[in-house]
Amino acid sequence: MNEIIEENFSNPELSVDFLAEKLCISRSGLFAKIKTLANITPNELIQVVRLKKAAILLAENKYRINEICYMVGFNNPSYFSKCFQKQFGMKSGEFVNGKREE
């Protein structure tokens, strides 16, 4: 499952249905499995992987934040920013500036 998410994190179509289909499991079966293993929902798992990839790309300082947003599968930069701040406790711009100072 992690391999499928890792290979497809940049695909905006990556979803619970996409994962369930690739794993030949029902949506409810996938939800139960992930909830049991990680205590989060499949959507949360996908989002965490995307945000961690975004943090790696931001740390490299090669791309603009808006570019990274789309590179990791988000369709909306403001939603990406909101999710990033919730996940890491800081705005993506603050994260970039903090990495520059290190």
**Per-residue exposure over 17-48, b if at least 16 CB sit within 10 Å of its own CB, e if not:** ebbbebeeeeeeebbeebeeeeeeebeebbbe
Tell me the CATH number at 91: 1.10.10.60
Q: Is the dihedral of CA 52, 63, 68, 2 positive or negative?
A: negative
What tens digit of pLDDT does each residue of 47-92 get? 999 999 999 999 999 999 999 999 999 999 999 999 999 999 999 9
- Predicted confidence band at 101 (pLDDT cuts at 50, 70, 90)? low
- Print the domain residue range for 62: 2-101
- Predicted confidence band at 2 (pLDDT cuts at 50, 70, 90)? confident
Count of the separate structural domains present in the chain: 1
Read off the amino acid at residue 33.
Answer: K
